[in-house]
Every structure is written in structure tokens, then in C-alpha cells.
């Protein structure tokens, strides 16, 4: 495995050197990662990357710097893989940042320059960042009747108290020894995770509880995917009732534009949306606890209504209502009834009634 990754990187280098020796303008072919090159596979419910590619040339003023950055990142990753060490993408940025020659120009000025180059390399070589020994920032926490093996340590997610198990950025080497649950509940907010954990929701309802803390990190998405593949348990996602929350769900379910090349590895197409929905607001009497949607919320909702993976009547209706009513609501709004309302009434009722959005 490691060998073939190293070979892929070396192959890229050899190809470029050959182009240079042949007197050609050296270039790297990079699949385009933008909405225009994203396809939605309706059958599998997955975003996939189309076959449009762009060529990144060295001898092109507009490309030269990025070409340089690409070669820097590639040779850095080769060293990581070769030596069997891992680095975070922030560490990678610091390792590669320096001034070029005697000039005041830096190889990279911000991490926001090196991050996309890393993804470029992933899509070009068709390997995952994790395989390049680069780790994304982590966020995400898990609890439940699950026993895992992580680099030789056996960990029981049910015995980690109020904090839960912190999901690492790289879950490739995590093995599930035992999973005892009827479903997997993914929640957007740490506060909601803490509430459900304190109320022993996962114990009472026999589920695996995962908090994403906003948009799910790569490691968390990969963990949900792997856990589903291992157990085939139903996956329910619980977010705020706003465009941002809905998008978090869609990324967990179908993948993201940026990671479309790796949807197969990261997405969980069978996931269902549990709430909050616009209908919940009325049904549970939360009207007074909604927030006025901002212009950018409405704009985002309208954009999402055009995405191919939101083309079904339930989501069109949901987003349409949001645009029409110009409101949004947080998960915590349920606490307006009483603190344990979410764990004792709302979630059990939704699950019992199978009141989900696809």
C-alpha cells in the first residue's frame, strides 16, 4: 500500500522530468473541482467528479506559482510516506513555507494556499490525503456501545464519561471490535451531543452518538462511513434548521463538491435527515423561538435548491418554505419546551414515526 503511494508520487515526478527533458512545457493534469464538473449519481445518491481536467503549466505566468507549490507538496508527501511519519496540513504548510531564492516572495503565504494544492494532488493521483500521510484538522466526538482498536489500544466508547471519544483526523487504522446499537445518530452541535450524552440517550435508545461540531471533518465523515459499512445500521442526521445545517447533512450523505473524487470513501448515502425541519417548528410549537434568516441564508438556500442532489420534492419543499418564511431555527430551540425535551420526546418520537427527510 505505502509502496504504491510512493510509486504514484515518484511517477508524477518522473513524468514531469521526462516532459522537461523533451523540451516541453511541463504540466500536471488536474481534474476540475467545481460545480460545473460535479455529477450527481442518482442511483447511488453520490456526488462524483466529472472528467473535465485542467492543465497546470510551469511556463505560464498564471500557473507558475501553483505549479511550483504542487511540486513542493508532492516531494514533501513523498518524504512523509517514505519515512512513515504523519503531518497535519498546518504542519505541512509550515514545513514548506520559506522565501524563494533571495526574493521576498514566499513559497506559501497562507495555509489557504497549501490546502487546495493538497486536494489537487489527491485528485490528480487518485489517492486520499490520509494516504499521503497528511492529516486534516480534527473535530468530532463519539459515544456508544462500541469497542475499537486504535494502534494497539482497545477503547470502549461507552466508558469515556462526559467527553466521549475524540475522533482523530485519520481513522484508517481504526478497527471496530464490537458494535452494539440499533442506529447511528449524528448531531451537528457539541452542545446537543453533550445534552444527549448527559441524558444517556445512547444507552436508553441503544445507538451510537456522533457529534460533528459543525461541518464534519474528514476523519468524522470517514468514521461514519466506515461504521455504516461495518454494521449497515440506519444513520440519522440531526442539524439546525438552516441552509448550513441542511448542507452538513447532504455532505455526510452524498459527499461534497471539494471531495467529490472521494465520495465513495466518505459519503453515507443511506443517511436520513431527522430534523430540525420547517414542519417541526410548527409541530412542536417553536414559532416564537425561530431566528430571522439573513440574506446570505436565503441566497444559500436558493443555490442549494438548484443542486442536483437536492432535486426531490421533499427537499425542494423544505428549502422553499425556508425561503418563503425567511426563518431558521437552532437545535437548542427545543429546550424552550424543557431541557430534556430533545432526548425524551423529540428524537424518540421522530424515530418512532420514521419522520425523516430523504
Partner 1 sequence: MKEKELSSEEFFAEKYRESNIAEFFRRNMHMLGYSGPVRSMTTIIHEFVTNGLDACEEVGVMPKIIVEVRQLGDRDYVIGVEDNGLGIPESYIPRLLGTMLAGTKFHRYIQSRGQQGIGAVGAIMYSHITTGVPIKIITSTGKGKITTAVMDIDIKKNKPHIFEMTSVKGKWQGTKIVARFKDIVYQKGEQGVYEYIRRTATANPHATITLLEPDGNVVKFKNSVNKLPSRPKEMLPHPRGVSADDVRLFALASEQRKLSTFLEKSFSRISAQKVKEIAKRAKYVDFSMDPKELTHQQAEAIVRAFKDVRFIAPSTNGLVPIGEETIEKSLKEILKPDFYSVVTRSPAIYRGGIPFQIEVGLAYEGQAGRSKGKDTSSEVMRFANRVPLVFDAGGCAITQAINSIEWRRYHIGDFDNAPITVTVNIISSHIPYTSAGKQAISGEDEIMNELRFALMDAGRKLKSHLSGVRRDKLRDERRAIFEKYIPEVAESLSKLSGSATKKEIIKHLEKFVKSRARAKEDKDDKID
Q: Which residues are catalytic?
A: 94
Among positions 4, 7, 100, 294, the unique one binding partner 1 when judged by CB under 8 A: 100
17 or 35: whose CB is closer to partner 1? 17
Looking at residues 20 to 49 of the shown chain, list those that interact with partner 1 (rule: CB under 8 A): 20-21, 23, 25, 27
Contacts of 113 (CB under 8 A, 6+ apart): 69
Contacts of 62 (CB under 8 A, 6+ apart): none
173: cell is 487504522
Tell how strand 53-57 and strand 27-31 pair up.
antiparallel
19 or 345: whose CB is closer to partner 1? 19
Instruction: Determine, following the binding rule CB under 8 A, whether residue 85 of this chain makes contact with partner 1.
Output: no
**Range in contact with partner 1 (rule: CB under 8 A) among 54-62, 85-93, 110-118, 163-171:** 54-62
Instruction: Let me know: does 316 contact 261? Beta carbons within 8 Å.
Output: no
CB atoms within 10 A of CB 306: 10
Among positions 5, 9, 322, 351, the unique one binding partner 1 when judged by CB under 8 A: 9
Between the CA of residue 227 and those of 180, 209, 216, 224, 331, what are the distances in Å? 12, 12, 15, 5, 25
Give CA–CA dist 226/224, Å, rounded.
6
**Range in contact with partner 1 (rule: CB under 8 A) among 15-23, 134-142, 194-202, 327-335:** 15-23
Among positions 78, 133, 138, 328, the unique one binding partner 1 when judged by CB under 8 A: 78
Give CA–CA dist 60/24, Å, rounded.
12
DSSP per residue, 188-222: S-HHHHHHHHHTTHHHHTTEEEEE-SSSPPHHHHH
64 or 149: whose CB is closer to partner 1? 64
At residue 116, the 3 state secondary structure works out as helix
Instruction: Determine, following the binding rule CB under 8 A, whether residue 71 of this chain makes contact with partner 1.
Output: yes
Instruction: Determine, following the binding rule CB under 8 A, whether residue 52 of this chain makes contact with partner 1.
Output: no
Between the CA of residue 123 and those of 32, 48, 346, what are the distances in Å? 9, 12, 41
Largest CA distance in the chain: 73
Instruction: Determine, following the binding rule CB under 8 A, whether residue 107 of this chain makes contact with partner 1.
Output: yes
CB of 133 to partner 1, least distance (A): 15
**Range in contact with partner 1 (rule: CB under 8 A) among 40-48, 55-63, 129-137, 143-151:** 55-63
Among positions 14, 42, 306, 324, the unique one binding partner 1 when judged by CB under 8 A: 14
Size of residue set near partner 1 by CB under 8 A: 37
Among positions 58, 201, 249, 309, the unique one binding partner 1 when judged by CB under 8 A: 58
30 or 146: whose CB is closer to partner 1? 30
Residue reference for cell 441566497: 299
Among positions 39, 42, 52, 64, the unique one binding partner 1 when judged by CB under 8 A: 64
Instruction: Determine, following the binding rule CB under 8 A, whether residue 105 of this chain makes contact with partner 1.
Output: yes
201: cell is 440517550
Among positions 5, 16, 121, 260, the unique one binding partner 1 when judged by CB under 8 A: 16
Q: Is 289 exposed, middle or buried (0-12, 13-18, 19+ CB in 10 A)?
A: middle
17 or 149: whose CB is closer to partner 1? 17
CB of 68 to partner 1, least distance (A): 5
Instruction: Determine, following the binding rule CB under 8 A, whether residue 94 of this chain makes contact with partner 1.
Output: no
257: cell is 463538491
Instruction: Determine, following the binding rule CB under 8 A, whether residue 210 of this chain makes contact with partner 1.
Output: no
Instruction: Determine, following the binding rule CB under 8 A, whether residue 114 of this chain makes contact with partner 1.
Output: no
Q: Is the peptide bond before 323 cis (omega within 30 degrees of 0)?
A: no
Element (H, E) at 123: helix 111-125
Binding site for partner 1 (CB under 8 A): 9-10, 12-14, 16-17, 20-21, 23, 25, 27, 54-65, 67-68, 71-72, 74-75, 78-79, 100-101, 103, 105, 107
Amino acid at each position: 500500500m505505502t509502496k504504491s503511494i510512493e510509486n504514484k508520487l515518484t511517477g508524477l515526478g518522473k513524468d514531469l522530468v521526462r516532459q522537461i527533458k523533451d523540451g516541453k512545457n511541463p504540466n500536471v493534469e488536474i481534474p476540475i473541482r467545481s460545480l460545473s464538473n460535479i455529477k450527481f449519481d442518482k442511483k447511488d445518491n453520490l456526488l462524483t467528479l466529472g472528467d473535465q481536467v485542467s492543465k497546470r503549466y510551469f511556463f505560464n505566468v498564471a500557473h507558475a506559482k501553483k505549479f511550483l507549490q504542487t511540486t513542493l507538496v508532492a516531494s514533501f508527501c513523498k518524504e512523509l510516506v517514505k519515512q512513515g511519519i504523519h503531518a497535519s496540513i498546518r504542519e505541512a504548510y509550515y514545513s514548506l513555507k520559506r522565501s524563494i531564492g533571495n526574493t521576498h516572495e514566499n513559497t506559501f503565504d497562507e495555509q489557504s494556499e497549501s490546502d487546495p494544492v493538497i486536494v489537487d494532488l489527491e485528485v490528480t493521483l487518485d489517492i486520499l490525503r490520509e494516504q499521503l500521510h497528511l492529516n486534516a484538522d480534527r473535530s468530532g466526538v463519539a459515544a456508544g456501545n462500541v469497542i475499537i482498536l486504535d494502534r494497539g489500544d482497545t477503547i470502549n466508547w461507552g466508558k469515556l464519561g462526559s467527553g466521549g471519544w475524540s475522533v482523530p483526523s485519520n481513522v484508517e487504522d481504526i478497527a471496530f471490535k464490537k458494535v452494539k446499537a440499533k442506529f447511528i445518530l449524528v448531531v451537528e452541535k457539541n452542545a446537543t451531543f453533550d445534552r444527549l450524552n448527559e441524558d444517556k440517550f445512547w444507552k436508553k435508545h441503544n445507538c451510537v452518538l456522533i457529534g460533528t461540531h459543525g461541518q464534519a471533518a474528514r476523519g468524522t465523515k470517514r468514521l461514519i462511513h466506515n461504521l455504516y459499512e461495518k454494521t449497515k445500521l440506519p444513520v440519522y442526521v440531526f442539524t439546525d434548521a438552516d441552509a448550513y445545517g441542511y448542507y452538513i447533512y447532504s455532505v455526510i450523505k452524498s459527499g461534497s463538491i471539494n471531495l467529490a473524487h472521494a465520495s465513495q470513501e466518505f459519503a453515507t448515502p443511506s443517511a436520513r435527515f431527522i430534523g430540525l425541519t420547517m414542519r417541526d417548528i410548527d409541530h412542536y410549537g417553536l414559532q416564537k423561538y425561530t431566528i430571522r434568516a439573513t440574506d446570505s441564508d436565503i441566497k444559500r438556500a436558493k443555490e442549494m435548491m438548484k443542486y442536483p442532489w437536492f432535486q426531490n420534492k421533499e427537499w425542494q419543499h423544505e428549502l422553499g418554505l425556508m425561503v418563503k418564511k425567511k426563518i431558521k431555527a437552532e437545535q437548542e430551540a427545543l429546550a424552550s419546551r424543557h431541557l430534556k425535551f430533545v432526548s425524551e420526546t423529540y428524537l424518540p418520537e421522530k424515530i418512532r414515526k420514521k419522520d425523516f427527510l430523504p
